[in-house]
Chains A and B, each alone.
Chain A
Amino acid sequence: GNSVTQMEGPVTLSEEAFLTINCTYTATGYPSLFWYVQYPGEGLQLLLKATKADDKGSNKGFEATYRKETTSFHLEKGSVQVSDSAVYFCAALGVGGGSQGNLIFGKGTKLSVKP
């Protein structure tokens, strides 16, 4: 079935450090891929997305490239800020079966950025 695996946290970085959060998916076909961010006490917000292979999603300095060959969608940012501290979720849009049209989430990665 469809599944999403992302690196476990927590991840602690100093301000201005480089960030990578790994995400891989297992699916039938090539699903749309997403990164969501959840700030403390809030709901999930769409951070970026990619709908087909080699697409690059970007927003607020974050980037992720849809790699069909490695079934990956790693999240990167060149210089993190304290305000980026949050939980990040990788998700794939279900393809086929009971997950059709719904998001399948990884377990989330908590990022803490220290001044």
Chain B
Amino acid sequence: NAGVTQTPKFQVLKTGQSMTLQCAQDMNHEYMSWYRQDPGMGLRLIHYSVGAGITDQGEVPNGYNVSRSTTEDFPLRLLSAAPSQTSVYFCASSYSGGQGYTFGSGTRLTVV
């Protein structure tokens, strides 16, 4: 099993550009989430999904969109990148939440 795979690992964007961060898992997990990690802030939930076709907003959803067309994939779209979105982004998945989440290795995004 590959676990949770995130691509790309690094990305530099110009302000106003759009892009999609990819996340895929091969564990047949229903729950998937996106977090951003900023210094001194811990991890904050952006969007999450409890199954294909179902998504919802987390703590910091503004400027991001998600969709969940399959169980395996949960892409995160930045609509118009801003310097405030410079961060490390983590995707995570879980069978039910209660057993904990498996995290990807992260995408380091810089917006200039």
Query: Is B a genuine binding partner of A?
Result: yes
Binding site for B on A (CB under 8 A): 32, 34, 36, 42-46, 49, 51, 89, 93, 98-99, 101-108
List, in ascending order, chain A residues with CB within 8 A of B101's CB: 46, 103
How far does the alpha carbon of A78 sit from the alpha carbon of B32 in the complex, in Å? Answer: 35
B79 CB to nearest chain A CB (Å)? 21
Can you name 21 A-B pairs with beta carbons within 8 Å?
Answer: A32-B97, A32-B100, A43-B4, A43-B105, A44-B43, A44-B103, A45-B103, A46-B100, A46-B102, A89-B42, A98-B56, A98-B57, A98-B58, A101-B94, A101-B96, A103-B43, A103-B97, A103-B101, A105-B35, A105-B43, A105-B44
A21 CB to nearest chain B CB (Å)? 14
Interface flags, B52-69, vs A, CB<8A=1, else 0: 000011100000000000
Interface flags, B28-55, vs A, CB<8A=1, else 0: 0001010100001111110010100000
Do A102 and B33 touch (CB < 8 A)?
Answer: yes
Do B45 and A107 touch (CB < 8 A)?
Answer: no
List, in ascending order, chain B residues with CB within 8 A of A44's CB: 43, 90, 92, 103
Do B97 and A42 touch (CB < 8 A)?
Answer: no
List, in ascending order, chain A residues with CB within 8 A of B75's CB: none
Binding site for A on B (CB under 8 A): 4, 31, 33, 35, 40-45, 48, 50, 56-58, 90, 92, 94, 96-106
How far does the alpha carbon of A88 sit from the alpha carbon of B14 in the complex, in Å? Answer: 33
How far does the alpha carbon of A96 sit from the alpha carbon of B97 in the complex, in Å? Answer: 13
Which one of B42, B58, B90, B94 has the greatest number of beta carbons of chain A within 10 Å? Answer: B42
Closest residue of chain A to B9, judged by CB? Answer: A41
List, in ascending order, chain B residues with CB within 8 A of A36's CB: 103
Do B48 and A102 touch (CB < 8 A)?
Answer: yes
List, in ascending order, chain A residues with CB within 8 A of B98's CB: 32, 51, 93
List, in ascending order, chain B residues with CB within 8 A of A106's CB: 42
A92 CB to nearest chain B CB (Å)? 11
Do A43 and B58 touch (CB < 8 A)?
Answer: no
A48 CB to nearest chain B CB (Å)? 9
If A42-B105, A43-B105, A101-B50 touch, does A49 touch B45 (CB 8 Å cutoff)? no
